[in-house]
Amino acid sequence: MRALVIDDSRAMRRIVSGILEGLGYETQQAGHGREGLDALEGLAPDQLPDLVCVDWNMPVMDGLQFVSAVRSNPGWRSMTIMMVTSESEHTQIVRALAAGAHEYVIKPFTADAIRDKLALLGLLPQEAVL
């Protein structure tokens, strides 16, 4: 399985990617929403990542704009989007889900939190199932 991790913090990108790799994912990284879209553009459907983890507050293009952009492209429906952000008000989570995010992980999180969410989404690579 493949994942794209979008966060303006390099440290956070490494942490999230490290957790996903530990669960059996191949990962790719981007520093903001625009870079994320660039990484997806031109990919054939079978090359698209299964999962996109995206932060909210980022320069150039924020996570909410990214989610809306992905959702407006019918060719990208297969991807599951999980926001991973310190934005943690009720209204913000509602906005993200309304824009088309499937899941939402609030920072700070533990590796278990990511694994549990992926289990709910049916996106745990087989060998990682406990």
Partner 1 sequence: MTLTTTSFDWVRHLVHKESAIVLQPGKEYLVEARLLPIARQAGLTDVSQFVESVRIRPDADSTRRIVEALTTNETSWFRDGDPFTALTSTVLPSLLGARGPNERLQIWSAACSSGQESYTIAMLLEDALPNAASRVSITATDISREMVERTRAGRFSQLEVNRGLPAPMLVRHFTRAGTEWEVAPALRRMVTASQCNLAAPLPRMGPFDVVYLRNVLIYFDLPTKQAILRRVRDLMRPDGWLFLGAAETTLGVDDSWERVVVGRSSAYRPLKGK
Partner 2 sequence: MTTLDSGERRRTSDTRPVITDLIDEVTVESIAQEAWISLVGEDEVLVPLPGGPVADPVSSWVDVVGPWTGSVVLTTGRRTAEELTRALLREHSPEVLEDEDVADAFGEIANVVGGNVKAALPGSSGLSLPDVGEAPALRNPDDLCRVELQWRGEPLSISVQGALPPLPAVS
Please give the residue ranges that form the binding site for partner 1 (CB under 8 A).
88-90, 93-94, 96-97, 101-106, 108-110, 112-113, 116-117, 119-120
Site residues for partner 2, 35-74, by CB under 8 A, read: 57-59
DSSP 85: E
Are the CB atoms for 82 and 49 separated by under 8 Å? no
Of these, 3, 4, 8, 54, which contacts partner 2 (CB under 8 A)? 8
Selection from partner 2, partner 1, none that 85 binds (CB < 5 to 8 A by kind) is: partner 2
Count the neighbouring beta carbons within 10 Å of the beta carbon of residue 94.
11
| Least Å from the CB of residue 4 to partner 2 | 18
How far is the C-alpha of 60 from the C-alpha of 78, rounded, in Å?
25
What residues contact residue 104 under an 8 Å CB cut-off, 6+ apart? 82, 83, 85, 93, 96, 97
Nearer residue to partner 2 within complex by CB, 8 or 40: 8
Residues at the interface with partner 2 (CB under 8 A): 8-12, 14-15, 18, 57-59, 85-89, 91, 107-110, 113
